[in-house]
């Protein structure tokens, strides 16, 4: 290798603070809209006609948003990939921000459909947001190949912030300080009482954060100081040894090592990933209001916001305390499944779960939310890291397991929540 090649390698391994920050802001746009809607749910359910059933509606709508991802993958067969990727990223990040602005204006508008009042505007706009966020899964990461692999790390940091920042904003917002609220018609109170700012302001703040993503994308593409990294990266061959933000250099295995990995172990890990998402993105999200709302709106609010915050923090924790042990995955999964059963049981007993009127009951509800969110986030990240070691195909299988799991959980729970009396509102 000649001297100029050595210089390129050296420069691509140096990290630019400006580029690091810009990539972080770009990554924030990945899931910030949907994460924000979920942490704001405790402040929405009592001012919408769906009430506690709203969570099950949104859970299904979020899964239907995968149609955007499927459409993008289909169009790749007929349209130049670079152009398609470019315009898709601009569209989903811009439309996501616009949808959040529209949510701030119309989230509580209702329409009569077949004689029943429905939050049609909210549901449509959440669907638009879901399409944008789900499509980011297949566009953001492939786009980052224009930069050296070391900049995948700030992309992941940005994606983690997309869960952390909405949680912090919702925590600062607060909630109306009333317990055991059932519906607006049954309680002649001001729903803004106790809140530091309204739902409208919350959605506008999310929109501001969302618009940082397309702006950052354009900076990555066209800012001269960052474009230099494109050139260095291309000169180096388009790839380098820092190919993963989840895997340390010492963890990367060659193709001969993959053959020694037990296939059954891979299948077990994929099945665990499927089950984790059946519960996290399907079952537990659909019944979250039944699990936590009986303990009071403040408890529900803290469970949602602190759960999101600690889920993001546990993702950061993996950067310092990584593991590749299947035994750890099995142990953490069993703990999560056990707590998920507890949450599900509380929902079944709604509106009178255990220790409903006790302070210890409210504290335990919040703690369970924090622990389950942290466990599932860390476990899924561990499995994804192991799948990346096994090869790109298994990383793809992991992504498929995530989407199928969430879809199955949401579709199964929707009729149970809405057309049976298994779960009862207060």
pLDDT tens digit at each of 426 positions of the chain:
444 444 433 344 577 889 999 999 999 999 999 999 999 999 999 899 999 999 999 999 999 999 998 999 899 899 998 899 999 999 999 999 999 999 999 999 999 988 889 999 999 999 999 999 999 988 898 888 888 877 877 888 888 899 999 999 999 999 876 544 444 444 444 445 678 999 999 999 999 999 999 999 999 999 999 988 886 555 544 444 444 444 444 444 444 444 545 788 999 999 999 999 999 999 999 999 999 999 999 999 999 999 999 998 888 888 788 888 999 999 999 999 999 999 999 999 999 999 998 999 999 999 999 999 999 999 998 898 888 778 767 877 887 888 889 999 999 999 999 999 999 987
Beta strands in 187-269 (DSSP E): none
Domain ends where: 245, 270, 299?
245
- Are 285 and 342 in contact by the 8 Å Cβ rule? The answer is no
Do 219 and 278 have their domain in common? Answer: no
Task: Work out the angle between the directed axes of helices 81-106 and 66-75 (0-180°, nearest 10).
Answer: 160
Q: CA nearest 269: which of 371, 384, 375?
A: 384
Do 193 and 295 have their domain in common? Answer: no
Do 130 and 257 have their domain in common? Answer: no
In sequence order, what are the residues at sequence separation of 6 or more whose Cβ sits closer than 8 angstroms to the Cβ of residue 84?
72, 75, 76
- How far is C-alpha 24 from the chain's CA centre? 16
pLDDT of residue 19: 93
In sequence order, what are the residues at sequence separation of 6 or more whose Cβ sits closer than 8 angstroms to the Cβ of residue 90?
214, 217
Do 231 and 367 have their domain in common? Answer: no
Largest CA distance in the chain: 78
CB neighbours (10 Å) of residue 138?
17
In sequence order, what are the residues at sequence separation of 6 or more whose Cβ sits closer than 8 angstroms to the Cβ of residue 242?
13, 148, 149, 150, 152, 249
CB neighbours (10 Å) of residue 50?
21
The count of domains in the chain is: 2
Do 192 and 65 have their domain in common? Answer: yes
The CA-based angle 328-311-353, given to 5 degrees, is 95
Domain of residue 392 covers 253-426
Where do the H-state alpha helices sit in 184-223?
199-222
User: Rounded distance, CA 166 to CA 353, Å?
Assistant: 28
User: Rounded distance, CA 121 to CA 258, Å?
Assistant: 49
In sequence order, what are the residues at sequence separation of 6 or more whose Cβ sits closer than 8 angstroms to the Cβ of residue 120?
109, 110, 111, 113
Do 355 and 210 have their domain in common? Answer: no
Domain of residue 194, CATH code: 1.20.1250.20
Sign of CA dihedral 300, 302, 305, 306: negative
Check: pTM over 0.85? Answer yes or no: no
Query: Is the bond leading into 123 cis (omega within 30 degrees of zero)?
Result: no
pLDDT of residue 253: 47
Domain ends where: 245, 261, 284?
245
Phi-psi region of 186 (alpha: psi -120 to 50; beta: other; left: phi over 0): alpha
Do 323 and 389 have their domain in common? Answer: yes
Do 231 and 261 have their domain in common? Answer: no
Do 221 and 132 have their domain in common? Answer: yes
Sign of CA dihedral 224, 93, 152, 75: negative
Do 326 and 192 have their domain in common? Answer: no
Radius of gyration of the chain (CA): 22
- Are 407 and 276 in contact by the 8 Å Cβ rule? The answer is no
Do 98 and 115 have their domain in common? Answer: yes
Helices (H) and strands (E) in the chain, counts: 19, 2
Do 232 and 291 have their domain in common? Answer: no
Residue 276 backbone dihedrals phi, psi, to 5 degrees: -60, -40
Domain ends where: 245, 279, 307?
245
The CA-based angle 43-49-51, given to 5 degrees, is 50
């Amino acid at each position: 290798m000649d001297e100029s090649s050595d210089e390129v390698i050296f420069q691509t391994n140096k990290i630019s603070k400006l580029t690091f920050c810009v990539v972080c802001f770009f990554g924030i746009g990945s899931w910030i809209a949907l994460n924000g809607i979920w942490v704001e749910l405790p402040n929405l359910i009592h001012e919408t006609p769906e009430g506690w059933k709203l969570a099950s509606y949104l859970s299904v709508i979020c899964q239907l948003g995968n149609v955007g991802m499927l459409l993008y993958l289909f169009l790749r067969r007929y349209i130049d990939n670079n152009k398609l990727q470019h315009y898709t990223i601009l569209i989903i990040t811009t439309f996501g921000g616009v949808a959040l602005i529209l949510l701030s204006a119309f989230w509580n508008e209702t329409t009569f459909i077949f004689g029943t009042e429905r939050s049609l505007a909210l549901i449509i706009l959440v669907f638009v947001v879901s399409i944008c966020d789900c499509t980011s899964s297949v566009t953001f990461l492939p786009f980052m190949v224009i930069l050296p692999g070391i900049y995948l790390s700030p992309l992941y940091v940005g994606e983690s912030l997309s869960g952390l920042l909405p949680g912090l904003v919702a925590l600062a917002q607060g909630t109306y300080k009333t317990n055991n609220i059932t519906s607006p018609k049954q309680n002649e109170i001001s729903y803004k009482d106790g809140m530091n700012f309204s739902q409208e302001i919350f959605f506008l703040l999310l929109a501001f954060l969302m618009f940082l993503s397309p702006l950052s994308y354009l900076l990555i593409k066209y800012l001269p100081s960052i474009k230099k990294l494109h050139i260095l990266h291309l000169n180096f061959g388009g790839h380098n040894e820092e190919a993963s933000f989840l895997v340390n250099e010492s963890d990367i295995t060659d193709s001969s090592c993959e053959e020694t990995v037990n296939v059954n172990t891979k299948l077990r890990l994929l099945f665990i990933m499927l089950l984790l998402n059946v519960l996290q993105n399907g079952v537990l999200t659909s019944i979250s209001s039944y699990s936590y709302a009986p303990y009071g709106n403040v408890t529900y609010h803290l469970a949602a916001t602190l759960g999101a915050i600690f889920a993001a923090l546990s993702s950061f924790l993996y950067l310092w305390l990584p593991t590749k042990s299947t035994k750890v995955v099995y142990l953490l999964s069993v703990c999560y499944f056990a707590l998920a059963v507890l949450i599900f049981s509380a929902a079944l007993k709604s509106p009178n779960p255990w220790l409903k009127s006790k302070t210890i009951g409210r504290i335990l509800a919040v703690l369970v939310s924090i622990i389950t969110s942290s466990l599932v986030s860390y476990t899924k990240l561990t499995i994804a890291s192991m799948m990346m070691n096994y090869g790109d195909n298994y990383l793809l299988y992991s992504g498929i397991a995530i989407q199928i799991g969430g879809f199955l959980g949401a579709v199964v729970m929707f009729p149970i929540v809405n057309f049976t009396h298994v779960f009862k509102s207060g």
